[in-house]
Each structure stands twice: as C-alpha cells, then as structure tokens.
Structure 1
C-alpha cells in the first residue's frame, strides 16, 4: 500500500505516526503544519488526512479533528517508512554487561536481561527460556489451600520453577511430604525426562511403598512438569508496572488491564513465542494482528535466539502499547537476542 501514496501523503503520514508515538495524542492539521518542512495549508493537510483515513491508515478516535494511526497504518509505517535507529554507546554497554556470564547461571542472565529491556524500553520485558533439560537438584510440594498445592522444582544450576497443581481435597500434609521425599530420593542428578521415566516405571512395577493418595500426588506433579508446557520452555515476564507509568486515559487503563490478563494466560504466550522460532530476526506483532492482544491495543517486538549449533532455543522481547518507540526498541531487542545466543551451549 505504501507505493500507492505520493511523496506528500507519505511525509504527512510519517509525521502523524511519529507525533503519535511521542505523545499518544491524536494529531491535528495545526500540529502537522508546524512539523512539516514543506509549507502546506491546513486545508491541504486535512484533505490528505481524509484520504489516509479512507485508506484505513488513520482513524479519528473521537470528535476532535485529530487522527491516530490504525494497526494497519502502524504496520505499513514499520514495514515501509520506519528508519531504525542505532543503540547509544551506553545502551550497548549496559546490554553487554547484563548478558555476560560473569559466573552467573543462564536463568539469572535471562532474568536480568528481561529486567534491563523493560527498563530501557519502558515496556514489559519477556523471555521464553529453554525448556528444562538440566539435571535436577530438588523438588517439593507445598500446600496452598484445600485441593491445591505448589510444586517447586530446582535444577543443579539454580533455576527455580513453580507450578500450581490440583490435589485430592482433604489430602493430609504428610502425603505432600511423603511425595516430596519420594521424588527427591529419585530425581537428584537426573533430567526431568529421565526422572519421569524412572519413577513411572517404578510405580507401574509397584516397587514403591507409597499409598494410593501419595502416588496420585506424585503422578500429578510429574504430569504437570512433563506436559506441553515443558516442551516449549518457560516464560519470564518483568516490568508490567512500567505499562502503567504513561497511562493518560481510562480507556488506556482498560487496555493495560486486558494486557495483564493476556500475560497471565501463559499457555497462549508460550505458544506464540514458541512460534517465533519458525522465523529469523526481529518480529513485530501490532495490535489486532495477534489474537492475544486483539482487544488490548498492544504491540510486541520479539526476536528468537539460537544456541551455538544455530538451533532456536528461545525468544526475548518487549510488550507495550501500540505507540511504542519501534525505531529505538527494534535494535535493542535484536542486539540483546544476539548476545543471549552466545551464552547458549
């Protein structure tokens, strides 16, 4: 569609998007006449804006004369008009320092990188970390409420993952302790897949002395860790509060609340991030292009990262309002993903 626009229309459209990204406010002809290098009358600018609205690139959010870009307009801008900036020397140094091993485990580096991206972009940072195939150190069941328990899994390199599982109502605390003791005697030094195969074989052959209730808890815990989630990896989201710092209207607040709910739907987030591994380089999801954010008015900039064998093992990026600073954040995400990839074995 970009080829259908003449030079004047492109220039006006570019200034509308850039002004909207800066302020979050609808852009009117008066604002545009101050930004444009060419001298155009407000009437000429309004006519071009009307044409752009007819093409579905702009929309008027209320009765004001100002316009904002639609999701389709933002997509066209990103694909055809965006000039991606360079990282500053300070940003580059911060990212390099955060993504260096310095005696830390990979999960610690991933968490810090996610925090850093959130801080630099003023968005929520997220990372899809590789699935857990490291040797295990500890597993524990903790009672939360009747019928629910928390399973805590610790790997030898310090990664801690939690899952909430359903357990039989009225289960005595001793059963959870027995399940924890039973698993810890068998999982240490084994990967999750190895531990699962060993324990299920033992249960099938009835070699364990567990009662039926405790067996059920053990099987539930194993199933939770070894299901579809386990094959995709796990999700870290940091800096959600950043999304509330620039909220200017009640409608914005509602969109952010919807996004928070979407971020809690981790199954969908994992599936979507997992799908980024099928493409190379930075990927940009804008608003309704993504089912997960169709009502949230949000965009996601994400890049897969690969291990030394050039296999995609995860993804890292940010989520924010559709007016995020694409030119600044795209190189930030790209550089972080490349550095993270170097840490992967």
Structure 2
C-alpha cells in the first residue's frame, strides 16, 4: 500500500468515525428532549435509560451508516479537491481508477464491519431498543407489540389454529379454533373453545367451553365439556410474535424463523424477508455511495465544499426516500421483497456508473 493509499484511507476512516461521533450525540439529545416526559411519567430507572441509549446508538448507527459514510466521503474529498491535492495526484500519472483504490478498500472495511454488526450485534440492540420504546414511550405500546386480533397460524403440515383475540401478558386467547386435515385436505376434526389459557406451572392449556367435532363416514362424533386440560405442540408466544421480532434475531435464527413462518403461512413473511435482505443490501450500499461521493466531490466547484455538500445531502435524502418507500411497498404490496430492497442500490448503482464516467473525463 502506497503513501497516497494510506493517506486517503486514513482520512476515509477517521472522517467517517468523527461523523458518527458528531451526529449520534445530537440524535441522543434530540431523542431525550422529545421523550423525557414519558420517561418521568413511567418512572424509568437510570440504568434502563442508559441501556436504552446504548442500544439506541448501535441501532441508529447501523441504520444510518450509509448516509454518514456518504457525507463523510464528500466532506474530506471536497477538502482534497479544494486544496488541489486531487489535481496533484492525477497529474503525477495516477489514473482515476487507481485513485479510487483506497476508497474501495475503506468501503470494504466499513461494509464487513457493518455486515458483522447486522448479523450479530444489531439484533440484540434492536431488541432492547424496541422493548424499551414499546414498554415506556408509546401510549398503547404493550398492546401494539403484537398482532392481537384475528391471528391465523399453521402449526404443522396438517394442523391450523385461529384465535379472534389474544392477550400475551395474561397468556389467554379467545375464540380458539384448531382444525386438522388429512392428506387429501379433508377435515379430520375441529376443536373450538370460547377461551384457552396457558398454565406455566403444569405446561399445559385449559380450554373453556370445549367442543370437538370428529368427522366420520356416516356420522360425526361430538364432544363437549365446560373445561378441558390438554397439551398442544405450540407456544402461545408463537401465536403473535412481536411486530419487530425479525430485527431481534441473529442471522442463523432469522433464517430458521423465516422458514418456520413460511410453513405456517404467516401474513408478515414479506416484512421478515425485508429485514433479511437489508442485512446484505446495506453493506453493499457503502461501495455505491462511496463511488458517487467521490465522483461528485473530486472536482473543484464555484460553490466550493458547500455546493458539494448540498448535492450530497440532496442525494442522501433521495436514497432514504427510495429505501423507505420500496421497503413499505415490499411489506404491503405484491412487489417481491428481494427486488424492492435492492431497487435503491440498483438505481444508485446506475447513477454511480454514470457519474464515475463523467468524473474520469
């Protein structure tokens, strides 16, 4: 690695770290000012608040790292251009592609770090951040943590359950139905109960106003009981996982969870797939945004660094807009999640190629 490579790479990484250290405390201050009243009302202890802001730091650093990286590259590259350092480097016979090499090395370093964070560190931070937010900072947060009405799940290859309402705190589900089918998709039996309650001590379930209909060739068999204890091969927590459950799982756990939810016919499968695909797309965006930032800021402009930063901020907001819009479309529409998650990178990748060609000229 040459002196120029070390010089640019050092500026690349140090400016990125400084950008994070500058903006994250600002984000924490703004968050505290908005939510301090809710924390005081709920009498949250200082230790819980400290843990929350530690998780907050990791969560938002990972979420916004492409934008911080983008702005930091524009910042220090514009300084190089204004000091005519880039002109001196290119005048020495170094090609623009060779000039880009330390930037690509820096993007690779940041991307690998982001990938490992997304796989292992961010899920834990996301769980702590969201648990605190739903517990203390939202008016009806505990009830919003889970889908609590009209829950339908497939618990095995031929068994399906449905509950009209679900109370996770009490471990009670109302208007419970379990139906089992044979290989020909004909119903074998159906169980109904007005209420089902999980008993933690005995690890079983109590059904109230139990009714079971077993279908026969000539006659159906009916069973009724005001109360019936039984064991099921599902957990009440599985009926309604937290709305942010995918964000709290490590890479291996997330893949297993998605496979299980797909077998169960979960209506939220696209939401979980968006979380999975973003674990790959966010690190890749570091390369694309780095190339765009260098192409935009490597030439001197009349407006100086201010003009480059203005262009960079505008592009950053457009990227965020694309990322949010297509993420929501993947969850709420028929657009394939993989395509929706990667559209921002595809669009900005094309823009990066175009800007890079112009910068070389």
- TM-score over 0.5 (shorter chain): no
Q: TM-score, normalised by structure 1?
A: 0.29
Larger Rg: 2
Normalized per residue, the structure richer in helix is: 2
Q: TM-score, normalised by structure 2?
A: 0.28
